[in-house]
Amino acid sequence: MSTPPDQLTWLLDGLVEQVPGIRNAIVLSSDGMLVGSSTGMGRDDAEHLSAISSSFQSLARGASHYFDEGGVRQTIVEMDTSFLFVIGAGAGSCLAVLADSGADIGVIAYEMARLVKRMGEHLSVGARPPVGHSPEG
């Protein structure tokens, strides 16, 4: 990830503070590793949300591929008291947001897309090396 962690936290905090209904926001790699989170979310919860978000995004991509429907724009999970949004955020990364059930989902989706567009390639996450790979060669 090419965005410094403090800057990423600042951007995610801005999304949480400026968009009504958003509780927490994270950036994750497509394989579920936490890259950054908003300040109000503890590390354990952020890592758990990262794994869940990656799984939902993977299921959505699988369904899209199986039915030949093109790419996945966003994944939204509606729960009794909240929504989970996941969108692609550059090569190999996603932006996930947890929001209140009464939040305006259109506004949230729009603001998430705006943040991703503003960040552009800075949200790209490189592929991790294969297990057992040594950087020394």
pLDDT, tens digit (0-9, with 9 covering 90-100), for 10-68: 999 999 999 999 999 999 999 999 999 999 999 999 999 999 999 999 999 999 999 99
pLDDT confidence band for 5 (50 / 70 / 90): confident
| More confidently predicted of 133 and 14 | 14
In which residue are the tokens 């354990």 written?
Answer: 44
DSSP string, 48-64: HHHHHHHHHHHHHHHHH
CATH superfamily of 5-123: Dynein light chain 2a, cytoplasmic (3.30.450.30)
More confident residue, 111 or 3: 111
CA 30 from centre of chain:
9
DSSP label of 129: P
CA dihedral of residues 10, 82, 72, 66 (deg, nearest 10) = 150
Task: Supply the pLDDT for residue 52.
Answer: 98
pLDDT at 128 over 80: no
Comparing 65-74, 116-125, 128-137, the range with the smallest average pLDDT is 128-137
pLDDT of amino acid 19 = 98
Give the global pTM.
0.85
The whole-number pLDDT of residue 119 equals 80
pLDDT at position 28, please? 96
Quote the CA–CA distance of 41 and 5 in Å, as a whole number.
Answer: 15
- pLDDT single digits (tens) 67-84: 999 999 999 999 999 999
Domain range annotation of the chain: 5-123
Residue among 38, 4, 16 nearest 119 (CA) = 4
Model confidence at 6, in pLDDT bands (50, 70, 90)? confident
3-state DSSP call for residue 83?
A: strand
